[in-house]
Structure 1
């Protein structure tokens, strides 16, 4: 046991030195390395659906029924090819241009960080999509900072400006900044218990001025400009500063309401812009959404007549990040191996 303990200590020191050297090399390499483009992953969701259906048929149906199904499919394929061959040239071209439904996912945090990947996905889709296609965004977000979600909504507007139908599907929540994004869509679909709304603005600032005063700590804040800083965490806040801060919130709320109204004029904005939220089935009544349905049901309804394609953009990882992940993987492997040997030596 004493030998194992000494060996473990030596191993940890060795790993620590290796980590420091690795990160130093990563910093140097990242300074010299040119920015690498990310990668785009495209997968056809129809194929996964068809594969699952075929597997269930194989497990549940007898051989005779499966054989008949295969014959019917083969017969239908021949009829479709024959009909396409005999059809006028113009209609053949129209038939070959099958509708595509592009599926994007947005899982929002308070900073709307997912906009970094969504903007690339939208750029890629717009390079090939046509007005007969459709873009479906599966959106999940409880909102966050105004500028982050404002940019996300503007990215979705690019799809509308290209005259490509945009559908937003909400299975769980699209509130505040999340609804700011959703309202851009031509059609909003929500699950029955999805949460929508919260068209309001909130901000809070903790203040420890009195606590610092008891500790005889002074904080000096110098600004140029009357309202450069309205409220502060450390200094003494004034009534004038509070009023200006509240006015800024009201101005932001007004901007929010005007944007939602411009995208969904059918809403009674003063009635619903109270900061309240509604479940999907209730949101249909006040016109926050257009259809109550899950995203799965909506996509499945397109599998027969359209190519449903999921598009995912992956950001490139920096050298330091890759080394960090590699280090923790190696550390985990070594720790598990060492604990296994220790347990074996003690008879566990």
Structure 2
């Protein structure tokens, strides 16, 4: 038993040393990889669509019909190739329109903007005015400054004179709609939720609980309005009024921004914090067309080269160590805390 106890103690020390060495190596690797860029991937959606159609034909059509169909397809491809070759000799060949597809799935911090800014930078380096950028946007809103940055990234596309289309299949509310309104054209699914042009803030206060427990909280500031409402201290009527005024000022900026992007809106009628489904949003001029993003993209396959662009951020140390569960828990905790204490959020 004494031998087993000593051996167990030795193994425990060995595992502890190995863990410390592993963490140190990961920290060194993390420092080296900070300067390394992420990876950009491009998927040709036309080819994916054609491949799925061919697979379905093979499963559903009989051999004779499939053979005739493939024969006709090859014949048509030869004729098209011959016609394009002849047209290229007579006139300068006009490149096919390219449609770039981005996905933005927004959380309260608009974390996806870190990848979207890289995707937009890459697209702007090659896109022309005859191309188009389509953003499939899903967001219920979040922090003011985060969604302000996200909307500014989309404005880069407009400033480059490249058509921008936003497709909303589920929700683009509050900060999400702030992003959507930048587009030349907004397309929404029939039951997508849009609007919520308002500002909300909440701050829990446990001062009375602490007071009962004889716990004092001291807060020292330099500047009259450095802190208006707090979680732990006693809030004043003056602080509350200043906090409310800040919300009104932010709401005014929000309304002004939306009005500039979509002058056709009667802003005072729709900037009430209310939301509308797709068809109602069309009636209120919040969107320009009711259609799913899938239907819109499928309609472009024939005349455009449709490519999906995605930028993947470098993995953090926790992910490289395989601590995906811890990372997920940390992200959920931050999101929950943000919702609990959010200040001036869309």
TM-score (ref. length: structure 2): 0.87
Compared CA separation, residues 204 and 60, structure 1 to 2 (3 A): same
- Aligned equivalents of 2:67 and 2:189: distance in 1? 38
Residue aligning to 1:187: 185
In 1, Cα distance between equivalents of 2:52 and 2:12:
48
Counterparts of 1:250-289 in structure 2, within 5 Å, are: 250-289=248-287
- Matches of 2:13 and 2:308, distance apart in 1: 46
**Residues in 1 aligned to 2:260 and 2:42: alpha-carbon distance in whole angstroms:** 33
Q: List aligned pairs for 1:240-319, cutoff 5 A.
A: 240-319=238-317
From the superposition, tell whether residues 242 and 325 of structure 1 become closer, same or farther in structure 2 (CA, over 3 Å).
closer
Q: Is the 8 A contact 1:19 1:327 kept in 2?
A: no
Distance 2:141 2:288 in 1: 21
Structure-1 separation of matches of 2:291 and 2:33: 47
Matched residue, 1:58: 58
Give the structure 2 partner of residue 154 of structure 1. Answer: 152
Match of 1:27 in 2: 27
Per the alignment, residue 321 of structure 1 pairs with: 319
Does structure 1 conserve the Cα–Cα contact (< 8 Å) formed by 2:137 and 2:168? yes
Alignment-derived partner of residue 224 in structure 2: 226
Q: Name the SS for the 2:322 alignment partner.
A: helix
Question: After the TM superposition, which residues 6-25 of structure 1 pair with which residues of structure 2 at under 5 Å, given as runs?
Answer: 17-25=17-25
- SS of aligned partner of 2:93: helix
Do 1:106 and 1:114's aligned partners in 2 also have CA atoms closer than 8 Å? Answer: yes
1:253-284 deviation digits (Å, cap 9, x = unpaired): 00000000000000010000000011111111
- Deviation, structure 1 residue 144: 0.3
CA distance in 2, matches of 1:300, 1:237: 56
- Contact 2:199/2:251 (<8 A) preserved: yes
Q: Please name the residue that 1:141 is paired with.
A: 139
User: Superposition RMSD on alpha carbons, in Å?
Assistant: 2.3
SS in 1 for 2:57: helix
CA 1:13–1:103: 2 relative to 1, 3 Å: farther
Partner of 2:194: 196
The count of residues paired between Structure 1 and Structure 2 equals 321
1:84, 1:92 within 8 Å by CA — same for their partners in 2? no
Consecutive unaligned residues of structure 2, counting only runs of 5 or more, are 1-6, 327-346
Instruction: Between 313-322 and 202-211, report the one with greater CA deviation.
Output: 313-322
Q: TM-score, normalised by structure 1?
A: 0.87
SS where residue 84 of structure 1 aligns? helix
Identify the residue that residue 4 of structure 2 maps to in structure 1.
none
